[in-house]
Amino acid sequence: MSDCTKPLALITGGEGALAKIISEQLISSGFKVLSPCRSQMDVSDEGSVKNFFNENITSDLDLLINNAGTKKDSLFLNISEEEWDEVIRVNLRGAFLCSKLALKFLCKNRSGHIINIGSFSAISGPVGQTNYAASKAGLISLTQSLAQEGGKRNVRSNCILPGWLETQFTADVPENVKDHVLSAHALNSLNTPESVAAFVLFIHTQMPSVSGQIFQLDSRIHRWA
């Protein structure tokens, strides 16, 4: 398959371990992949996002993965406005800006998929992560509303909660906190970026009738209602 006929996938937050592994699996499955780091496309900046789309995104866009994320963990009373705004800008506003531009291509094609990378924190907000949890909870609602609007044009939207991953993103978390997280898993094991990437590929290529859903990929038990 030549590059001209390969579907295009855009993964934000390209410097992260999860983005790199998803990219590898998509490429091996016949996709063209763009996975810009923040210096190439700052998802929190509308001008940066527009410039990247104008210069790089073409009509063969098939998949957007809103993976870019940041955290500024602190107890609620200690969070500054700047720390609150930064997390919301990157995690939620960034997904909004990228999805808005991507959706124009996908709706025109009457095909495509937006996958938002969420977090278990969105459905079970932990101490010290009010800004992060709020931003990821917003992604769930964004996913569901996009599924309703995009469905009329055969565009899907789903949200994946990858679970705790041993990556650079969690490298600064104290060991006692990691132990506490592990103890909450019924299977007493953590997820891997490779298994998350495999699920991303599966839901995109093998589940064309699924949209508006939230997929939790670990063994923590949460009562939804």
Contacts of 38 (CB under 8 A, 6+ apart): 13, 15, 68
Closest CA to 21 of 166, 132, 156: 166
**Taking a C-beta distance cutoff of 8 angstroms, is the pair 144, 175 a contact?**
no
70-74-75-76 Cα dihedral, nearest 10 degrees: -50
Q: Where are the beta strands (DSSP E) in 36-194?
A: 61-66, 112-117, 155-161
DSSP state of 40: T
- Residue positions annotated with a catalytic role: 132
**Taking a C-beta distance cutoff of 8 angstroms, is the pair 166, 180 a contact?**
no
Rounded to a whole number of angstroms, the distance between the first and last alpha carbons of the chain is 46
* Torsion 205-209-211-214 (CA) sign: negative
